[in-house]
Amino acid sequence: MDREELRRQLAFYKDLGIRTLYLPERAGQVEVARVEEAATPPPGPDSGWEDAALKAEVSVKPVDSKMFSALFQPDAGADSLDRIQQDMGDCRRCRLCEGRNKIVFGSGNVGAKLVFVGEGPGADEDEQGLPFVGRAGQLLTQMIDNTALKEGLAVRRGDVYICNVVKCRPPGNRTPEPDEMEICGQFLLRQLMVMQPRAICALGSTAAKALLGAREGITKMRGKWHQWREIPVMPTYHPSYLLRPYNQNAKREAWEDLKKVLHYVYDEPPRPLSDF
């Protein structure tokens, strides 16, 4: 990797809001490359940015520069879902690998105009290696299929793409830790960069936080359009939350949110976001 390529790659990740790069396992250890300094050049034309970037490279050299570049994929045109999955491999980059059965990468139409992002796999997903196949997943399927049907849109669950912020099941279905989100989030960002959907629906606060750095709760954010790298993002409630019997009001709201998203993405001819 030459100087210029490294600079471009670090700049790309900095632009995505990533400050730390986590490298694959080697010799039983998880190697962590801190590129915070390298990714934050001081202002000014001759800022020493390249030297800092090179220092970051030096610190990861023992790992294997091929593994290093596997995480970097600055040119979205050259990246692909297959390549991302290949780079993920039998991932051991964080503690979530310890209890997982299967990595849940994502499923659905790889050319989808709409991507749903959940939090992380549950027990059923961990067993099958597919996202949203348990109870919450069945509700999500119903929500997509029934809303589209009612609204006269020819869309079904198989037409969209579904994935999660973390690809391995957190033990006991706990919320993913910030470092787990940061590590795995790099793959999510690449998935979205490759797919370039017309819109993203963030299911629950973990997905909203991963995509939007949200500090507000999901109740405040839902129902309104936000943006991730110029792609409209609609945060809404997570289907697991809607399964609780006392959240019936939220269910109605989530249906409204989904209606907006489906119409924005699938109405023909397309209408501007401001219409929704």
Q: Does 235 bind ligand URA (CB under 6 A)?
A: no
Q: Does 126 bind ligand URA (CB under 6 A)?
A: no
Angstrom distance (rounded) from CA 141 to CA 85: 24
On whether the CB atoms of residues 264 and 157 are closer than 8 A, the answer is no
Tokens of 206: 């973990």
Measured from the CB atom, is 21 or 104 closer to ligand URA?
A: 104
Measured from the CB atom, is 110 or 243 closer to ligand URA?
A: 243
Q: CA triplet 175, 234, 257: central angle to 5 degrees?
A: 105
Tell me the window of 24-32, 40-48, 119-127, 217-225 that interacts with ligand URA (CB under 6 A). Answer: 119-127
Q: Does 122 bind ligand URA (CB under 6 A)?
A: yes
Smallest distance from ligand URA to CB 56, Å: 33
Tokens of 107: 């499923």
With CB under 6 A as the contact rule, the residue among 18, 91, 136, 250 that binds ligand URA is: 136
Measured from the CB atom, is 39 or 165 closer to ligand URA?
A: 165
Sole residue written with tokens 């409204």 = 256
Measured from the CB atom, is 148 or 242 closer to ligand URA?
A: 242
Q: Which of 246, 195, 244, 252 is nearest to 223 (CA)?
A: 252
On whether the CB atoms of residues 122 and 136 are closer than 8 A, the answer is yes
Which residues contact ligand URA by CB under 6 A? Answer: 118-122, 125, 131-132, 134, 136-137, 164, 240
